[in-house]
């Protein structure tokens, strides 16, 4: 019998955003555009490098790491990666700049987050049925940042456990992140339904370890849904459909 529901965060509990590599690199470039004027004000020499050139080098490095992560499902800290790349070129950068980079990068991301209108009522309805609710999110941002966003939207108190790939060191669809989360909940994978928006990470990862899966429609997964090439147990248009679907699975 179903005892718990796990959720993805981006494009699932949160409304749709473009998380393509190009869009994510654009967000990081916005943050770096704000970083270099601060460095100049603080007297950090760019050693003849242009901000545009530095940004290009850093983003190329990040893209290389991201492409590897999509193959081996390892996870990385994007703030640390930016700082490490810049410090190799600009040795005058002190460790404190890592915190500035972290704040600037996450501020760009957090400013785009918006909660689905039916997210909180859905979580409350599931809890009223005695179901545990938790989160597995692929993220390269640090736990303190992510926790801030969850608290801001009223999600933190409704989700337990909260698992971020940056802490687990692996990302969906690797089955270990699903299995480890199930163990933390004291449940078997067969007792859990996973709700997400990606076929390759959420549906495939959940099914690989024995969880049922619900796929919420977004502009990105529409073609897979319309062609029937998604593999999910059910497709939903809104989170508010979940409680009644779970009722059916528990009967």
pLDDT for residue 250 is more than 90:
no
Beta-sheet strand order (sheet of 132-137): 162-164, 132-137, 4-7, 192-196, 212-216, 234-236
CA angle (10, 7, 215) in 5-degree steps: 80
What is the pLDDT confidence band of residue 251, given thresholds at 50, 70 and 90?
A: low
Average pLDDT over residues 89-101: 94
Average pLDDT over residues 107-124: 97
Q: Residue 7: its pLDDT value, please?
A: 98
Q: Residue 237: its pLDDT value, please?
A: 97
58 close to 32: Cβ distance less than 8 angstroms: yes
pLDDT for residue 174 is more than 70:
yes
Q: Which residues pair with 215 in a beta bridge?
A: 196, 235
25 close to 57: Cβ distance less than 8 angstroms: no
DSSP string, 136-182: EE--SS-HHHHHHHHHHTT-GGG-SSEEEHHHHTB-TT-HHHHHHHH
Distance, in Å, from the CA atom of 172 to the CA atom of 165, rounded to the nearest integer, reads 8
**Could you report the per-residue pLDDT of 1-39, keeping only the tens digit for each?**
999 999 999 999 999 999 999 999 999 999 999 999 999
pLDDT for residue 60 is more than 70:
yes
Radius of gyration of the chain (CA): 20
What is the pLDDT confidence band of residue 175, given thresholds at 50, 70 and 90?
A: very high
Distance, in Å, from the CA atom of 37 to the CA atom of 33, rounded to the nearest integer, reads 8
Distance, in Å, from the CA atom of 101 to the CA atom of 104, rounded to the nearest integer, reads 5
CATH 3.40.50.1000 domain extents, the chain: 4-17+113-250
Average pLDDT over residues 77-81: 97
Between residues 21 and 82, which one has the greater pLDDT? 82
What is the four-CA torsion angle of 87, 90, 95, 100, rounded to 10 degrees? Answer: -100
**Could you report the per-residue pLDDT of 184-235, keeping only the tens digit for each?**
999 999 999 999 999 999 999 999 999 999 999 999 999 999 999 999 999 9
**Could you report the per-residue pLDDT of 125-173, keeping only the tens digit for each?**
999 999 999 999 999 999 999 999 999 999 999 999 999 999 999 999 9
> Domain 4-17+113-250: which topology?
Rossmann fold (3.40.50)
Q: Residue 92: its pLDDT value, please?
A: 87
């Amino acid at each position: 019998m179903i005892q718990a529901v796990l959720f993805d965060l981006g494009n699932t509990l949160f409304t749709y955003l473009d998380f393509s590599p190009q869009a994510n690199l654009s967000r990081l470039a916005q943050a770096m555009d704000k970083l270099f004027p601060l460095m100049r004000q603080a007297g950090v020499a760019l050693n003849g490098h242009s901000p545009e050139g530095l940004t290009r080098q850093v983003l190329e490095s990040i893209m290389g790491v991201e492409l590897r992560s999509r193959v081996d499902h390892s996870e990385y800290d994007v703030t640390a990666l930016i700082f490490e790349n810049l410090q190799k070129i600009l040795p005058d950068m002190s460790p404190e700049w890592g915190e500035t980079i972290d704040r600037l990068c996450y501020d760009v991301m957090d400013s785009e987050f918006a909660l689905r209108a039916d997210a909180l009522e859905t979580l409350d309805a599931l809890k009223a049925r005695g179901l545990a609710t938790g989160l597995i999110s692929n993220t390269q941002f640090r736990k303190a940042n992510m926790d801030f966003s969850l608290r801001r939207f009223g999600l933190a108190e409704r989700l337990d456990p909260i698992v971020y790939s940056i802490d687990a060191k692996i990302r969906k669809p690797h089955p270990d992140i699903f299995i480890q989360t199930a163990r933390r909940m004291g449940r078997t994978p067969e007792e859990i339904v996973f709700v997400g928006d990606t076929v390759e990470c959420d549906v495939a990862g959940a099914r690989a370890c024995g969880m049922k899966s619900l796929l919420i429609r977004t502009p990105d997964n529409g073609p897979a849904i319309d062609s029937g090439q998604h593999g999910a147990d059910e497709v939903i248009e809104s989170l508010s459909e979940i409680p009644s679907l779970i009722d059916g699975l528990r009967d």
